[in-house]
Structure 1
């Protein structure tokens, strides 16, 4: 099992504060002969519809400022692979890439990362490390 990200518990707490029930920690799936492990899975019951929203979250810390682009390559590649796998085995689940607010406000505002996020239609969950809350959902 892969090691948990430094901010794994921060994101887990933030999701719970936002009304999400953690259903898998981690979410392990098998597809096409490959086993994958996505950091978290959660559900939120929508009372009016009586149907739950289901998400999966891949958490990244981006703590290595000198290699942000390298971490970005890894994060984007994982996101694309995990999204493709989920489409095949759990198509009702929406994948989000979770990144810290400070990183989102700096690195993710640069032209290249912004373009790649848009081009690859990456859904993001921006979390505040200090307050342990979800700052923003980007669909």
Structure 2
């Protein structure tokens, strides 16, 4: 899996079928602009998955650096909660998942 690119992946977590939208937040100097794009895509992908594969759960994957800074601010945190966004936080350097946020 390449973490530096934005992509949508299908996988399994235990006995659950999941899809993961991987975002790097590296392409833009504006975190809020990247956030708006990521959240909008997440909502659209989730709606499409509900129609095509209702048993698959969508997660938004973001780097730990952006999660531990920008995503902890009041507005992004409240938007994630309001839109029930499940998340995977990953470490770019180690290329591994550091947190699951259900």
Structure 2 unaligned residues grouped into runs of 5+: none
1:111-136, CA deviations, whole angstroms, 9 ceiling, x for partnerless residues?
A: 00000000000000000011111100
- Report the RMSD for the aligned CA atoms in angstroms: 1.7
> Scaled by the length of structure 1, what TM-score is found?
0.67
Structure label with greater radius of gyration: 1
1:89 to 48, 52, 60: 52
* Distance in 1 (alpha carbons) for counterparts of 2:12 and 2:94: 22
- Structure 1 unaligned blocks of 5 or more: 1-7, 12-37, 47-51
In structure 2, how many angstroms separate the alpha carbons of the residues matched to 1:61 and 1:10? 7
Among 98, 109, 125, which residue is 2:61 paired with? 98
Shift, 1:53, TM fit: 1.3
Structure 1 CA distance for aligned equivalents of residues 64 and 19 of structure 2: 19
| 1:83-122 residue CA offsets vs partner (Å, 9 max, x unmatched) | 1111111011000000000000010011000000000000
The two structures have a TM-score, normalised by structure 2, of 0.90
Once the two structures are TM-superposed, the CA of residue 66 in structure 1 deviates from its matched residue by 2.8
1:31-110 superposed matches below 5 A:
39-44=8-13, 46=14, 52-64=15-27, 66-110=29-73
Counting matched residue pairs gives: 100
Alpha-carbon shift at residue 10 of structure 1 (Å): 3.2
